[in-house]
Structure 1
Amino acid sequence: MKTLLHRWSRLSLVTRIFLGIIVGVILALAFPKATGIALFGSLFVSALKAVAPVLVLLLVMAAISNHKKGGRTNMKSILALYGLSTFSAGLIAVIVSFIFPVKLSLTTGDSDLTPPGDIVEVLQTLLFNVVDNPVRALLEANYIGILAWAILLGVALKGASDQTKSMLTQFSDAVSQIVKWVIQFAPFGIMGLVFSTITANGLASLLDYGKLLLVLVGCMLFMALVINPLIVYVNIRSNPYPLVLSCLKESGITAFFTRSSAANIPVNMRLCEKLKLDKDTYSVSIPLGATINMAGAAVTISVLTLAAVHTLGISVDFGTALILSVVSAIAAAGASGVAGGSLLLIPLACSLFGISNDIAMQVVGVGFIIGVLQDSFETALNSSSDVLFTATAEYAKKRKEGSKTTVNA
């Protein structure tokens, strides 16, 4: 047993996760009624969700309070990359939806769901999340509120004694260590998540929506493997794929199965540390990205909205569809502030084309049916690109500084 544990610990985490996926599939096919296996997945996601809010609060507070005057971060560049990627995703989804129009067999939506009325309501929700009670923000994992309080407390503690700052840093390091312990259980957690996904949903029920899924997943893969690498190349001027594939492998896989950007924050923090990125930057950019970097959500909103448009035979010019790209990007950035995420922002986008709320909610119903795959790919794209663009901004900065040094020499 000791030898087996030693060999297991010597395997890379990604290899262990792949083994967990394989075991999860085998167990789901061989013992579909062994529901206790799914408990591993629930416990893993719950542990990540439990530690993530505290990690974000302490890391951001420590980073800002210890930040030296004159020191530079890359937040402006990262925010620009987040915005460019999210808008590009909405635009790609619109173009693909015109090339491969999809029509839906509309189903009954969930009458208990209440979508936002307009974009103002989405932004208003975000603003109220900023000024949320800090204790409630932690309890409900409201990362906008957590970030706001962490930044304010960090700034307020800039004048604190070195002992206070040191204690704050030690607390953040302690929580980071707990995160590392939790992540070591990722293979067992992923095994449980794979088991529950296959036994609870199956894939046969998704065949009726094959074309819709192909358009959604195709757009997201195109963003992950073509557009995002192109954005990275323009900034770092070298082969982007080693970084892109590393982010997809070490962040995207866990995000695919947890289906939660919040739960993947600790995983992304660990990857940033592995890539030796600036802690002052990624301690803010990663939780912020989990809230506003939503390329996958922009794809979902655009594709499902235009599917409704094609189903109803509404004639749409490309200019109006381009406006949809902008609206879907803005709405996607606010998706985390709305219960139900990106799917509940579809009625808002449908209103651009005069589609009634009753029809739009039926489209939301379709979204929930295919959600087992749609949400997985969406989260994998969103979360892995948080690390990708944080690293890109830092590498681009180093490249520029290196060019200046060469010129001065």
Structure 2
Amino acid sequence: MTPAQHPLLHLLNRTSLVLQIAIGLVAGIALALFLPEAAARVSLLGTVFVSALKAVAPVLVFVLVAASIANHQHGQQTHIKPILMLYLIGTFSAALIAVAASYAFPSSLTLVSNSAELSPPGGISEVLKTLLLNVVDNPINALLKGNFIGILAWAIALGFAFRHASPSSKEMLADLSNGVTSIVKLVIRLAPLGVFGLVAATLAESGMSALLDYLHLLLILVGCMLFVALVSNPAIVYFKTRRNPYPLVLTCLRESGLTAFFTRSSAANIPVNLQLCERLGLHKETYSVSIPLGATINMAGAAITITVLTLAAVHTLGIAVDLPTALLLSLLASISACGASGVAGGSLLLIPLACSLFGIPNDVAMQVVAVGFIIGIVQDSAETALNSSTDVLFTAAACLADKPRS
């Protein structure tokens, strides 16, 4: 009997990957509840899975983007500009929704006495400076550190350079892209085991007790993200495609958002999103660029986190906020969120930047960051799920907008 004929492998190949992940999720929860000591020991499965995704993602993006641009034929249609516009509209609208929710359900914080020793950016100019330096980073260093801005810049530059190369060189790039894609598919097949390990270890080690004191704030954050995922984003997709958006929305949440929720890394979820785009039949020349680009700048969840936590600090300190200032905060949060992936610590470390708009001192702002880390077990997972699933959603919307209705 060959390995391909083994009954277990045959069953796995016939079973939906989403169903396998769901089984891994339920099994992880059950193990954490009934055998917490054993659950802590299976954390290695989750760590290996996330590490594998993070390892293949930079190489995949570099090779895939370069090969797609190099082999792009004149006259082929791409949708990068409308996708970029959707990314910006989605992020800004998420910040506005967070402002409205914070006005309607104001949150107060019990600020901790000791904040973590972290180094937030000093201003929006520093965020933009960091982005610019990431663009001109050494390509080897960018690959080693997972600097996707730098990886994209080099891949695009080499892709355009290879457009003038010989056909054999372009074919070599295409074969290399196919080879890396095959490795990525193999890694993604390990997702059920990875999710099992991640869920079991997280619930066994942290539980939910630490979140009780911050439940109101957490509900505002998650509520805003759910509203964006189920109301705001579908509305944007409908205006773009003039079709019922919910089948696509639910597919993206189920097949991209679910894995992103547990990996808690947009970069690690890039291979998952690329495979989903392939299954949806989207233009490879488009999604091979838009997905890694979205993992860098499409940050609706980060904009919500920055806005809600900043306004919670503002309300706690009794600072009055007028409408123009709230709109300015939304714009600042949107711009900052686009730079979140280029700043160590992600969206939480951009909160002091937003707090500076209201004159809140840095030591108080860093205490708000500490609160963010306390609720981060849920907040960061929900944020990543929203960010990553929206990358596929807006890419698909732009590609489907030009297709005639069946």
Aligned to 2:15: 11
Aligned counterparts of 1:267 and 1:349: Cα–Cα separation in 2: 32
Shift of 1:201: 1.1
Shift of 1:9: 2.8
Shift of 1:2: 4.1
Aligned to 1:33: 37
Aligned to 2:295: 290
Aligned counterparts of 1:195 and 1:150: Cα–Cα separation in 2: 38
Which has the larger displacement, 330-339 or 3-12?
3-12
SS of 2:403's equivalent in the other structure is helix
Aligned to 1:278: 283
SS of 2:110's equivalent in the other structure is coil
Shift of 1:291: 0.3
Paired residues for 1:319-338 under 5 Å: 319-338=324-343
Matched, 1:383 2:375: no
Paired residues for 1:2-401 under 5 Å: 2-34=6-38, 35-399=40-404
Aligned to 1:406: none
Counterpart residue identity of residue 285, structure 2: D
Counterpart residue identity of residue 256, structure 2: S
SS of 1:116's equivalent in the other structure is coil
- Structure 2: give runs of 5+ residues left out of the alignment: none
What do the CA deviations read for 1:124-161 (whole angstroms, capped 9, x no partner)? 00000000000000000000000000000001111111
Aligned counterparts of 1:93 and 1:173: Cα–Cα separation in 2: 41
Counterpart residue identity of residue 353, structure 1: F
Aligned counterparts of 1:6 and 1:202: Cα–Cα separation in 2: 36
Counterpart residue identity of residue 21, structure 1: L
Q: In 2, are the aligned partners of 1:244 and 1:388 still within 8 Å (CA)?
A: yes
**How many residues get paired?**
401
Aligned counterparts of 2:59 and 2:207: Cα–Cα separation in 1: 35
What do the CA deviations read for 1:274-330 (whole angstroms, capped 9, x no partner)? 001000000000000000000000000000000000000111111101110000000
Shift of 1:10: 1.6
Aligned counterparts of 2:328 and 2:292: Cα–Cα separation in 1: 28
Aligned counterparts of 1:381 and 1:192: Cα–Cα separation in 2: 22
Shift of 1:8: 3.2
1:109 to 1:263, Cα distance in 2 relative to 1, 3 A: farther
Q: In 1, are the aligned partners of 2:264 and 2:381 still within 8 Å (CA)?
A: yes
SS of 1:283's equivalent in the other structure is helix
Task: Among all aligned residue pairs of Structure 1 and Structure 2, give the percentage whose two residues are the same amino acid.
Answer: 65
Counterpart residue identity of residue 11, structure 2: R
Counterpart residue identity of residue 10, structure 2: H
Q: In 2, are the aligned partners of 1:109 and 1:363 still within 8 Å (CA)?
A: no
Q: In 2, are the aligned partners of 1:107 and 1:362 still within 8 Å (CA)?
A: yes
Shift of 1:109: 4.8
SS of 2:402's equivalent in the other structure is helix
Aligned counterparts of 2:164 and 2:131: Cα–Cα separation in 1: 30
What do the CA deviations read for 1:164-203 (whole angstroms, capped 9, x no partner)? 1001000000000101111111000000000111012110
Shift of 1:99: 0.3
Aligned counterparts of 2:284 and 2:356: Cα–Cα separation in 1: 42
Q: TM-score, normalising length from structure 2?
A: 0.97
Counterpart residue identity of residue 251, structure 2: S
- Structure 1: give runs of 5+ residues left out of the alignment: 404-409
Q: In 2, are the aligned partners of 1:108 and 1:365 still within 8 Å (CA)?
A: no
Shift of 1:27: 1.1
Counterpart residue identity of residue 69, structure 2: I
Counterpart residue identity of residue 89, structure 1: A
Aligned counterparts of 1:9 and 1:102: Cα–Cα separation in 2: 48
Aligned counterparts of 1:304 and 1:13: Cα–Cα separation in 2: 36
- Runs (4+) of structure 1 exceeding 6 A deviation are none
Shift of 1:110: 3.6
Counterpart residue identity of residue 20, structure 2: R
1:211 to 1:185, Cα distance in 2 relative to 1, 3 A: same
Q: In 2, are the aligned partners of 1:109 and 1:364 still within 8 Å (CA)?
A: no
Aligned counterparts of 1:27 and 1:39: Cα–Cα separation in 2: 15
Aligned counterparts of 2:11 and 2:290: Cα–Cα separation in 1: 35
Aligned counterparts of 2:114 and 2:339: Cα–Cα separation in 1: 22
Aligned counterparts of 2:215 and 2:181: Cα–Cα separation in 1: 41
